[in-house]
Amino acid sequence: MLFLSWSCNNQPETIEEIAAEIHKRVLTVDTHTDTPWLLLDGKFDLSERHNYNDDRSRLDFPRMKEGGLDAVFMASFVGQSVRNDSAYDVAFGKAMIQIDSIHSHLFSRGDIAEIAISPDDAYRIEKAGKRIVFIGIENGYPVGMDIKNIQIFYNKGARYITLCHTKNNDICDSSNDTTEHNGLSDFGYDVVKEMNRLGMMVDVSHISDSSFFDVLKVTSKPVIASHSCARAICDNPRNLNDDMLKALAKNDGVVQMCILSDYVKTPDPYPARDSAFQAIREKYNYFRDLTEEEEKMARRDWYHADSLYPRNLATVSDMVDHIDHMVKIAGIDHVGIGTDFDGGGGLEDCVDVSQMGNVTLELVKRGYSEENIRKIWGGNIMRVMQKVQEIGS
């Protein structure tokens, strides 16, 4: 299904030129980054160009422009800790600080980027030539057991919540933990219904298979997997199996392809690296109950170990193998892209957001039409977001 594009002098363009023009024309949306934590110390400036080799950051507005990325969901992430009222208060506060940091950071940078809360906002901001920032919540843990917190997050601009992370919480079971609720908890059912009522997207990345199917039983709106891959291509419990992909399509939802290398391609054994990272996890209490200073030290040690024991990363070609499979199983209307930049995402030939055009180039090489590339890059997630926000749908 590869097409030819002709210039005005009737000479065929190169495939690189075709891909670059398509990439420029379509709305490009990345549904998951963990960039907000970079803003917490007040020193990181999204309006300045950074270099991954210098500070390990993968996203800022100049690199978004270089890479042709129009819109990004910045996720407020709070790691799992104990589950009691005092811990919930702390987690809620941390989530709000991150959300507020996004708002305050963009307040003085309105000439280059704006916060969006709807697809209409996104298209308006794109037309003005600015970068688009959506807000998400990764891990429902900060909701605690108080359903009213969802409304508070929504009022602050959050437009999805990833129901859990790598541990079970009071909403549902995680794909990386033992069985506790055997899917959604009773409170979790209420959470999904409340998100439906508000018009907030339910994000099923990270949740267990049982939790996934429970969500689809109760939701009245399409759901998203903001950063997940295909389990048939890389056998990891974080990825979606074919039955899940088919069910997501039947729900009219969308799975956003993640580019965290370990979820794209099963890594080769690397005992020295594994031991180094395990030592860091133990040193910092598995990143639970850390002070702000301890969190900074943990990140520093983590990045140092990553530089000492660099892994062989998957490639954009490996990534598009997943997209091919997802399209085959779920259909072209149910696939998108969510990188997980600044939260572990990154490939050998897509190290940061400045290289996002490489994804479009690979899609063109494999014969995807401009219409289908438009769907993958932003059309599908905008359709789902619009449908979720429609009252009474």
Structure tokens at 100: 């507020």
pLDDT tens-digit profile of 163-221?
Answer: 999 999 999 999 999 999 999 999 999 999 999 999 999 999 999 999 999 999 999 99
The hierarchical CATH code for the domain 15-267+313-389 is 3.20.20.140
Region 139-146 average pLDDT: 98
Contact 61, 157 (CB under 8 A): no
pLDDT of 135 higher than 50: yes
Structure tokens at 98: 């991150």
Region 229-255 average pLDDT: 98
Q: Give the C-alpha distances (Å, rounded to integers) separating 241 from 211, 230, 324.
A: 14, 6, 14
User: Helix 242-250 vs helix 316-330: angle between axes, to the nearest 10 degrees?
Assistant: 60
pLDDT of 392 higher than 70: no
pLDDT tens-digit profile of 1-51?
Answer: 333 343 445 544 899 999 999 999 999 999 999 999 999 888 999 999 999
Task: Please give the pLDDT value at position 393.
Answer: 53
Dist CA 49 CA 21 (whole Å): 24
Query: What does the mean pLDDT of the chain come to?
Result: 94
Region 266-273 average pLDDT: 90
The radius of gyration of the chain's CA atoms, rounded to the nearest angstrom, is 20
Task: Please give the pLDDT value at position 4.
Answer: 39
Task: Please give the pLDDT value at position 9.
Answer: 53
Contact 72, 33 (CB under 8 A): yes
pLDDT tens-digit profile of 323-347?
Answer: 999 999 999 999 999 999 999 999 9
SS (H, E, C) the chain: CCCCCECCCCCECCHHHHHHHHHHHCCCEEEEECHHHHHCCCCCCCCCCCCHHHHCCCCCHHHHHHHCCCEEEEEEECCCCCCCHHHHHHHHHHHHHHHHHHHHHHHCCCCCEEECCCHHHHHHHHHCCCEEEEEEEECCHHHCCCCHHHHHHHHCCEEEEECCCCCCCCCECECCCCCCCCCECHHHHHHHHHHHHHCCEEECCCECHHHHHHHHHHCCCCCEEEEECECCCCCCCCCECHHHHHHHHHCCCEEEECCEHHHHCCCCCCHHHHHHHHHHHHHCHHHCCCCHHHHHHHHHHHHHHHHHCCCCCCCHHHHHHHHHHHHHHHCHHHEEECCCECCCCEECCECCHHHCHHHHHHHHHCCCCHHHHHHHHHHHHHHHHHHHHCCCC
Length of the chain in residues, anyone?
Answer: 393
Q: Give the C-alpha distances (Å, rounded to integers) separating 123 from 116, 118, 127, 333, 384.
A: 9, 9, 6, 19, 15
Region 102-115 average pLDDT: 96
Domain coordinates in residue numbering, the chain: 15-267+313-389, 268-311
Task: Please give the pLDDT value at position 233.
Answer: 98
Answering whether pTM is above 0.85, one says yes
**Weakest-pLDDT range from 332-336, 357-361, 366-370, 389-393:** 389-393
